[in-house]
Each structure stands twice: as C-alpha cells, then as structure tokens.
C-alpha cells in the first residue's frame, strides 16, 4: 500500500528515477522541467531540502511497496497561513485514486501539522484528471489564468475544520 512521506535526502535516487521515467507523460499536461533540472538534480534536491528545513515549503513523496516513488505532493511558497499545492502521479499509478488520497492527506497535514489555513492550486483546462482531483478534495475554482500559454483555472481550499490525516494501523 503506497505511503505518503515527507521528502528526505534519501529519497533522491527514487525521486530522480520517477521524474525521468515519467518526463514525457508529465510534459503532456504540465510544463517540462527541462534538461537543466535533470543535469543538476542533486544540487536542486539540496536546495529543496534547505527550503523545507526553513519552513518555506513542505515536500512529500508517495512511496510504493518496493520503495519506488509513485508521486509527489508539494506545498510551496508557504506564507501567511497559505501555500500552493502541486502534485504529480506516475503514469503507471494513475486511475487508482492515489492522487485524491495523497491530496486529502496533505490537506490534513497542512491544517493540523503545518498550521496552514488556505491552499491554492492551478491547473490547465485540458487537464481533466487534475481538475477532478481538486474538486474531489474540496478545492473550488476562483478564476481564470494562462498557464504556460494554455487556459487554466485558479483554485482555493479553505482548511478550517480539517482534521488529522487518517493513518492505517
């Protein structure tokens, strides 16, 4: 059963494999990270970990039974009780409710452990899967935008009343 874990230094090899294996799949619906991301992955990972240690971001990975990364769910630009949610799930893991479960769990962590009151998210109009995950997890559209030149929507989620994440015993 996949587990949501806070990103650690030790996740780097599996995270890089996840990003490489799914690069073409992700590029269909979100802007590509570019060759520089992969060429300088270790330095970038150290920067992410430093930002997380400073409380600027909260990064999470969805880890499968064999230790492989199946997804990531991130809260970035944490300030004034708010953050922006971003997530991506491996192509081989889609269609199983993994994104919805992980986003639900991160919303609960945001409210109960990170002290956040509001989350923001954006997605393109042509990303029906992402829009469905946001709707199922309590996000509501708040306005139009252009994302990498494509029409999209801004979303927001109020975290008032969100309880601690449910963990299997």
> Residue range 121-125: average pLDDT?
94
As a whole number of angstroms, the distance between CA 56 and CA 163 comes to 22
Domain assignment present for 169: no
Domain assignment present for 165: no
Sign of CA dihedral 116, 37, 49, 62: positive
Domain assignment present for 129: yes
Model confidence, pTM: 0.93
Domain assignment present for 125: yes
Domain assignment present for 111: yes
16: containing domain: 3-158
Report pLDDT for 167.
61
> Residue range 132-140: average pLDDT?
97
Domain assignment present for 167: no
Averaged pLDDT score across all residues of the chain: 94
Report pLDDT for 168.
55
Domain assignment present for 168: no
Report pLDDT for 164.
80
| 3-state class (DSSP) for residue 137 | coil
pLDDT band at 169 (very low <50, low <70, confident <90, very high): very low
As a whole number of angstroms, the distance between CA 118 and CA 159 comes to 6
Q: How many domains does the chain have?
A: 1
Say what percent of the chain tops pLDDT 70: 98
What CATH number has the domain bearing residue 125? 3.40.630.30
Domain assignment present for 147: yes
As a whole number of angstroms, the distance between CA 98 and CA 76 comes to 20
């Amino acid at each position: 059963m996949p587990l949501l874990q806070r990103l650690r230094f030790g996740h780097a090899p599996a995270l890089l494999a996840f990003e490489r294996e799914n690069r073409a799949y992700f590029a269909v619906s979100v802007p590509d990270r570019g060759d520089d991301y992969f060429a300088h992955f270790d330095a970038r990972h150290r920067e992410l970990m430093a930002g997380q240690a400073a409380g600027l971001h909260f990064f999470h990975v969805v880890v499968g039974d064999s230790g492989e990364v199946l997804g990531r769910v991130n809260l970035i630009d944490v300030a004034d009780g708010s953050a922006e949610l971003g997530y991506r799930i491996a192509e081989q893991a889609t269609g199983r409710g993994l994104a919805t479960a992980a986003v639900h769990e991160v919303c609960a962590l945001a409210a109960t452990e990170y002290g956040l009151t509001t989350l923001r998210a954006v997605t393109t109009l042509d990303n029906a899967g992402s829009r469905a995950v946001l709707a199922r997890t309590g996000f509501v559209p708040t306005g139009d935008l252009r994302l990498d030149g494509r029409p999209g929507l801004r979303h927001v989620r109020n975290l008032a009343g969100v309880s601690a994440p449910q963990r299997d015993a």
